[in-house]
Structure formats: C-alpha cells, structure tokens
Amino acid sequence: MKRFWGKAMTDIIIIGAGPAGLTAAIYARRAAKGVLVLEAMSYGGQIINTPHIENYPVAAHISGFDFATKVYEQAKALGAEFKFEKALEIIDNGGSKTVVTAKGEYEARAVIIATGSRSRKLSVEGEDKLIGRGISYCATCDGAFFRNKTVAVAGGGNTALEDALYLADIAEKVYLIHRREEFRGEQSTVQKLKERANVEFVLNSRVTKLNADKRLQSIEVTDNQGNVRTLEVSGLFVAVGRIPENQSFSSVIELDEAGYAASAENCRTKTEGVFVAGDNRAKEVRQLVTATADGAVAATEAVKYINS
Ligand code: NAP
C-alpha cells in the first residue's frame, strides 16, 4: 500500500471479510488492483456459524468454517491485505474515499461495503443478561454446552431450522418455536426435522418470558390465542433474523426502511466509487451464492470505475 498525504493509499478498500467481501477481494486482485480488507471481528462472517452447507454449487457438503477458511486463504494467496479493524465511517473526497477505523485512516479510489448483518434479538426482558447463561445466537458455537439437555430454538427461517437440526444431534430434546404455522425456511429441512423424534414444533407461538436463577431455567411461550405454556429448557437459541450493518455508512449510501443498502444490480450506490455487496444490500434472495455473486459484481464494477 502506498502513502497518500500521510495516509495509506490503495485501489479498493473492502469492508467486511465474509463471503461477499472475500470474493470481491479475489476478483479485485485478479484484476491487479491493490486491495485492503478491513474486518471488525474474524474472517468468514455469519457463514462460519452454519455447520452444513449443502446448496453451494460443486461443494455438495462443506462446513461454513471450512468454506470461509478456503476463500480467505484464496484471497490472501492472491495478495489481498487484511487488517482486523472496525470501519467507523467513510468520507467521500470525490476521487478518493477515506475509511476511518478506531486505529487510523485509510484511503482508496473505491470502497466496497460488505458488512453483512448481526443477529436480531427477541427483545424479551432479561435476554441480554442471560447471554452466555442459557441464551445463545449461535448453535454451532454453543450447542456442545447443552449435550443431553433440553433446549429451544426460536425462529422459522433457514437459520432456525438448521440450528434445530444441528441441536437435535446433541441435545436430549429440542423445541422449535415459530410465530406462524408455516416456516420461512426450506421445506427439505422442515421434513428432516419432522423425522426427528426429539424435535417438537411449537407453532403460532412466541417466547414471552425468560425464567432464570443465575442461568436460564425455563421459558414461557404464548400462542396466538393467548394460551401460555412453560417449557423447562436450559438453552434458548435465538434465530429470528438479522439486522444489516449499514448504519455507520449512511452518509454515503441510501438505506431502505429495514436498513438495507439500496443499490442497482451492479452494486453501485448513490455515491460514485462506493459499492455494496452481500447480505447488507437490499435484494430478494440472501444466500451464500448470492453473497459471493455480489462480491464478484461489486469488484468488477469497482475496477471499471477506477479504470474509467
Ligand atoms: P430470516 O429468513 O429472516 O428468518 C427469520 C425468522 O425469524 C422468520 O421465520 C421470522 O418469522 C422470525 N422472526 C423475526 N422476528 C421475530 C420476532 N421478533 N419474534 C419471533 N420470530 C421472529 O432469517 P435467517 O433464518 O437468519 O436467515 C437469513 C438469510 O440467510 C435468509 O435469506 C436465509 O435463507 C439465509 N440462510 C441460508 C442458509 C443456507 O443457505 N444454508 C442458512 C441460514 C440462513 P416470519 O417467518 O413470521 O417472518
């Protein structure tokens, strides 16, 4: 990376090292552009929480962690630079952009925002205090703590379904609590869950109370008719969707009502030289394959922008 007015200068800064950001890094490096990837946590994004990926072409079966590691190593081998710093702001200087982190400032011709999303909370009283004491947002990270115990999963999307399936192999019993009759996630996974003797669906219901001593002891679930049922569980895995991580960049991108970044299919935003890719982008289908596709598109467009 060159120095520019005392700041480190590169061609493209990619914010976020999930599947979208890592794929963008591969494409940008193959176009011989300088690439700095800024990542607040560790590489991989939310896919590292997925135990089994079975819907990515060619990889009939791979864990999310293995997938992320392979893409990270591919991007590194191609020469992408990584810094594990949280990007706090993007300043548009016209022909260049400054990305401010807690540790410094970096300058680039173009920026790709591939920040993904964070877990939505249930917003039930006591939830925050019980994180790590029975409440978890990651079944693959914490599931092993609940071996032969009774747990619940809240949510009806693919994450909740896959979490329930994963936990069914570990826990004695799994309640799957969803606020509607129909699941949002894939029917093939619903079918697998129906075949598990230790999985019980609790439909048309929401978690309304957490009962705890030092740790979670039980939860109260209220159905759509107002009937309350107490479930004795030692773990509650919350999988009720994601919140896009765009707020810090709202001065350079337009956000929709839910906080997703508006862009055309070419991943361009309202600011020339700023692109978005992955789950934080407003779009219909949020899957691993569409995240990596976004990364390819955003990087290709960023290269075109720089070369124009
Ligand atoms: P999601 O698809 O948005 O599903 C969130 C679920 O939580 C929905 O069923 C929703 O209910 C429920 N919910 C939302 N707010 C709630 C609340 N306050 N109380 C109770 N329930 C609430 O989220 P996700 O499952 O995390 O998946 C995110 C994206 O990643 C999706 O596009 C998904 O397909 C994708 N994904 C893919 C894979 C894979 O390809 N293997 C794996 C995991 C995730 P309603 O249905 O009633 O709205």
Percent of the chain scoring above 90 in pLDDT:
91
Residue nearest to atom 22 of ligand 1 (CA): 240
Atom 28 of ligand 1 has which residue's CA nearest to it?
A: 241
Closest ligand 1 atom to Cα of 161? 25
Beta carbon of 184 within 6 Å of any ligand 1 atom = yes
Is 267 designated active site? no
Selecting among 66, 92, 138, 223, the annotated active-site residue is 138
Distance CA(219)–CA(241), nearest Å, equals 20
Q: What pLDDT, on the 0 to 100 scale, is given for residue 98?
A: 97
205 lines ligand 1 (CB under 6 A): no
Pocket lining: 242 vs ligand 1, CB cutoff 6 Å:
yes
Q: Give pLDDT, residue 49.
A: 81
The verdict on the CB of residue 281 being under 6 Å from ligand 1 is no
Closest CA to 293 of 281, 303, 305, 304: 281
User: For residues 71 and 21, is the Cβ–Cβ distance under 8 A?
Assistant: no
Residue showing tokens 């679930």: 221
- Counting from 1 in the atom list of ligand 1, the atom nearest the Cα of 178 is 21
Ligand 1 atom 46 nearest Cα? 184
Read off the pLDDT band of 52 (50, 70, 90). Answer: confident
Half-sphere exposure of 228 (CA within 13 A, CB side): 7
| Alpha carbon of 161 to ligand 1 centroid (Å) | 9
Beta carbon of 160 within 6 Å of any ligand 1 atom: yes
Q: What pLDDT, in 10s, does the model give residues 115-149?
A: 999 999 999 999 999 998 999 999 988 899 999 99
Which residue has the least CA distance to atom 11 on ligand 1? 156
Work out the number of other CB atoms within 10 angstroms of the CB of residue 106.
Answer: 23
More reliable by pLDDT, 132 or 198: 198
The predicted-structure confidence for 79-99, as pLDDT tens digits, reads as follows 999 999 999 999 999 999 999
Please indicate whether residue 133, judged by its CB atom, sits closer than 6 Å to ligand 1: no
Ligand 1 touching residue 50 (CB < 6 A): yes
Q: Is the pLDDT of residue 77 over 70?
A: yes
Beta bridge partners of 255: 261
Question: Residue 155: CB within 6 Å of ligand 1?
Answer: yes
pLDDT tens readout for residues 3-35: 555 567 899 999 999 999 999 999 999 999 999
Mean pLDDT of the residues in the chain: 95
CA 2 from chain center: how many Å? 32
Atom of ligand 1 nearest to the CA of 240: 7
On the CB side of 205, CA atoms within 13 Å amount to: 22
The pLDDT of residue 4: 53
pLDDT of residue 5: 54
pLDDT band at 2 (very low <50, low <70, confident <90, very high): low
**What does each C-alpha distance from 114 to 13, 40, 249 come to in angstroms?**
10, 12, 11
| Span 205-264, pLDDT tens digits | 999 999 999 999 999 999 999 999 999 999 999 999 999 999 999 999 999 999 999 999
> What's the pTM?
0.82
Mean pLDDT of 135-164: 95
What is the spatial distance between Cα 14 and Cα 16, in angstroms, rounded to a whole number? 6
Question: Which is nearest to 161 in space by CA: 303, 291, 51?
Answer: 51
The burial of 161, by beta-carbon neighbours within 10 Å (0-12 exposed, 13-18 middle, 19 or more buried), is given as buried
Tell me if 35 sits within 8 A of 82, measured CB to CB.
no
138 tagged catalytic: yes
Tokens for 170, please give them: 């570990």
CA proximity to 229, closest of 238, 237, 219, 239? 219
- Residue 154 C-alpha to ligand 1 middle, in angstroms? 10
